[in-house]
């Protein structure tokens, strides 16, 4: 029987369909679930979050095996696969729900995230990093139709023109870290 040590990361990097699609393909990631974090409304709906009044960010909760991949490595992929220099925006997706955020689960994650933001992200991006690093105070799973979205809807327009280019960029850089 395998002895896995699973840790959870909660990351906001724009549309949660993109984040889910990238991390589902990364070795060591056991499970990815789109959801909402960082707001003040209990169990918000997608429509409410898109209404920009709940305070939530679209996030992906990523469960990963620490014997295969570290939180530092998860963050490296996070910095690479979205633009952490744009406030409340990823491409044409605009609003506070699309903000760049690391919602840490413990003090160790906080320390690692802050160090990674100042040392790793700044090496990848020339503009100032605006990523929020905040404690995880809540997490709500997104509705079922948002789960596994890219895999279930690869020909949908948004998936073809927004999600797929991010997945391809990720695959090109991290070809040696892809799941079989």
Residues with a catalytic annotation lie at: 15
Q: How many CA atoms lie within 13 A of 44 on its CB side?
A: 25
Helix (H) or strand (E) segment spanning residue 119 = none
Packed helices 164-173 and 71-81: angle between N→C axes, nearest 10 degrees = 130
CA 43/CA 8 separation, integer angstroms: 20
* Rg of the chain in Å (alpha carbons): 15
């Amino acid at each position: 029987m395998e002895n896995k040590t699973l840790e959870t990361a909660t990351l906001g990097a724009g549309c949660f369909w993109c984040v889910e699609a990238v991390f589902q393909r990364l070795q060591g990631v056991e499970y990815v679930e789109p959801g909402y974090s960082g707001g003040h409304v209990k169990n918000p709906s997608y429509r409410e979050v898109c209404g920009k009044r709940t305070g939530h960010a679209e996030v992906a909760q990523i469960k990963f095996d620490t014997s295969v991949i570290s939180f530092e490595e998860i963050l490296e992929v996070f910095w690479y696969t979205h633009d952490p220099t744009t406030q409340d925006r990823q491409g044409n997706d605009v609003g506070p729900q699309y903000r760049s955020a690391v919602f840490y689960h413990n003090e160790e994650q906080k320390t690692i995230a802050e160090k990674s933001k100042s040392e790793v992200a700044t090496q990848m991006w020339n503009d100032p990093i605006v990523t929020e690093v905040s404690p995880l105070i809540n997490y709500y799973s997104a509705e079922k139709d948002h789960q596994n979205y890219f895999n279930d809807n690869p020909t949908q327009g948004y998936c073809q023109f927004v999600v797929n280019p991010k997945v391809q960029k990720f695959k090109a850089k991290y070809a040696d870290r892809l799941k079989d």
